[in-house]
Amino acid sequence: MKKRTVALYGRNTVLSTIGACLQKNTVFQVEQIDGPSEIIGKVSPPDVILFDFETAQPHFFLSMMRDHPTTMFIEVDLANNKMLVLSV
């Protein structure tokens, strides 16, 4: 079975907890990224990117969605206790 790559963009307790839970399952490969530049040029982009709404760079997911239409983006908004799934 192919492992699904999940990238975490942002450093907060919620994203760290989600990452720790996903790492327990052998289906997921979890990696921490510090920005879009770590994805650009990769042969195979992550299957999912979870990002902190407050710390993500403006227009982060819009340009990334255009360049990587198969990647699912999940916005984690701690201020409003919501998560938003974005995909093409």
pTM, full prediction: 0.85
Lowest mean pLDDT among 11-20, 36-45, 79-88: 36-45
> What is the extent of the structural domain holding 62?
4-86
Residues 6+ apart with CB under 8 A from 39: 7, 33, 45, 46, 49, 64, 68
Q: Residue 44: what residue type?
A: S
Instruction: Give the pLDDT confidence score for residue 4 in this predicted structure.
Output: 94
Q: What is the CATH number of the domain that holds 23?
A: 3.40.50.720
- Predicted confidence (pLDDT) at residue 11 exceeds the cutoff of 90: no
Q: Reduce the DSSP state of residue 8 to 3 states and report it.
A: strand
pLDDT for residue 17 is more than 80: yes
Average pLDDT over residues 9-33: 92
Q: Which residue has the higher pLDDT, 55 or 43?
A: 55
| pLDDT of 43 over the 80 cut | no
**Structural domains of the chain, count:** 1
